[in-house]
Amino acid sequence: MTIQKNPIPILEFDPNPIAVIAPDHEQLAIQLPKKAVFAFLENVTEEYAIKHHAKQVAEYSSVTKTYPIYVTDYQGHQVCLVQAPVGAAAATAILEFLIAYGVEEVISAGCCGALEDIAENTFLIPFKALRDEGTSYHYKEATRFVEMNRRALKAIERALSYHQLPYQEVTTWTTDGFYRETKDMVAYRKEEGCAVVEMECAALAACAEMRNIIWGQILFTADTLVNLDQYDTRSWGEDSFEDALILCLDAVINI
pLDDT in tens, the chain (255 residues): 789 999 999 999 999 999 999 999 999 999 999 999 999 999 999 999 999 999 999 999 999 999 999 999 999 999 999 999 999 999 999 999 999 999 999 999 999 999 999 999 999 999 999 999 999 999 999 999 999 999 999 999 999 999 999 999 999 999 999 999 999 999 999 999 999 999 999 999 999 999 999 999 999 999 999 999 999 999 999 999 999 999 999 999 999
What gap in Å lies between CA 106 and CA 30, rounded to an integer? Answer: 18
Identify which of 140, 146, 108 has the alpha carbon closest to the alpha carbon of residue 127. 146
pLDDT at 29: 94
Cα 36 from chain centre: 12
pLDDT at 109: 98
What gap in Å lies between CA 130 and CA 194, rounded to an integer? Answer: 8
Q: Where are the alpha helices (DSSP H) in 61-149?
A: 88-100
Task: Decide: residue 115, CB within 10 A, 0-12 exposed, 13-18 middle, 19+ buried.
Answer: buried
**166: which residues sit within 8 A by CB, 6+ positions away?**
122, 123, 160
pLDDT at 2: 86
Q: What is the pLDDT of residues 88-147, one digit of tens each?
A: 999 999 999 999 999 999 999 999 999 999 999 999 999 999 999 999 999 999 999 999
What gap in Å lies between CA 137 and CA 203, rounded to an integer? Answer: 8
Give the DSSP per-residue string, 165-208. Answer: --EEEEEEEEES-GGG--HHHHHHHHHTTEEEEESSHHHHHHHH
What gap in Å lies between CA 151 and CA 209, rounded to an integer? Answer: 13
The C-alpha angle 57, 58, 63, rounded to 5 degrees, equals 160
Cα 245 from chain centre: 13
Domains in the chain: ranges and CATH: 31-252 (3.40.50.1580)
What gap in Å lies between CA 91 and CA 87, rounded to an integer? Answer: 6
Amino acid residing at 161: S
Distances from the Cα of 124 to the Cαs of 77, 93, 146, 209, in angstroms? 25, 25, 17, 21
Q: How many other C-beta atoms are found inside a 10 Å radius of the C-beta of residue 228? A: 13
